[in-house]
Amino acid sequence: MVALGTPGLLGFLYLVGKRATLWSVGARRVGTDEAAGLHAIASRLARQADIEAPDIAVSHTDVPNAFTVGRSPSNSTIVVTTGLLDVLDRDEVEAVLAHELAHIKHRDVAVMSVASLLPTISLFIASFSLHLVRAFVDVAKQSLRAGVVTLFLVLLSLPFFVVSGLFWLASALLSHIIGRYREYAADRGAVRITGNAAELARALKTLEAEIEGTPTEDLRELDGAAALSVVPLSTQLGLRTPISHPPTEKRIERLRAMEATLEGSTN
């Protein structure tokens, strides 16, 4: 049943995932007449990255963040919030857009969508197996004959529960590792595009500080895109911070090391 349903789920996400995410955060695509500056930056950076310029969408929320949706470089949209545009200067916005363009170039949205689906499927199988075991036990309470049959069924279904549980642990760990690697790779990609690591480091530091001070009810406006955000939402506010994001301070440390290397190479 799961094997048959998985292709359908993947197909559904392939067709409507982008639109559903944009709708969930209240993002609307904007043209060059509404956001000429953003389009100009994105187009220039896209040429430097040798990819097609993505669409731009804006979410009117005070939560400062950005993320990318879309299954391929030709179908991608970068979403920025008005909160991000309010707290970052032009160079920092450019660095964030370069980070998102690196995600697009490497098809990270598609990669992480598949990676995050595996733990979900395995968890469903484990939960289904556990419900079967509980149902068999309830039946066993009715008679001795039912108990014998139930014992056989429990022993038959128990391996599925154990294997699916172990697969969930393995796939969740894999998703975690891939996600962290993709974020670090997008940071490196942004530096290759812009030639400037310091601006992205400053942008990440500012966004992290702003998000930590944002009320819970405001942060929930972007909860539907938490796994995609350039900076994760705060765990201190009880929201689902994606485990795919490495600690922001670690990313900043790496960016500062890259900046030192770039400065050394120019001296």
Active site (catalytic) residues:
100
Cα distances from 150 to residues 139, 142, 160, in angstroms, run 7, 11, 16
Can you tell me the distance from the alpha carbon of 15 to that of 223, in angstroms, rounded to the nearest whole number?
Answer: 21
List the Cα angle 53/57/62 in 5-degree steps: 135
Sequence-distant (6+) residues with CB within 8 A of 22 are: 28, 29, 57, 69, 77, 79
Query: Got the DSSP string for 175-211?
Result: HHHHHHHHHHHHHHHHHHHHS-SHHHHHHHHHHHHHH
Q: How far apart are CA 90 and CA 141, in angstroms?
A: 69
From residue 125, give the alpha-carbon distance in Å to each of 118, 157, 167, 171.
Answer: 11, 11, 10, 13
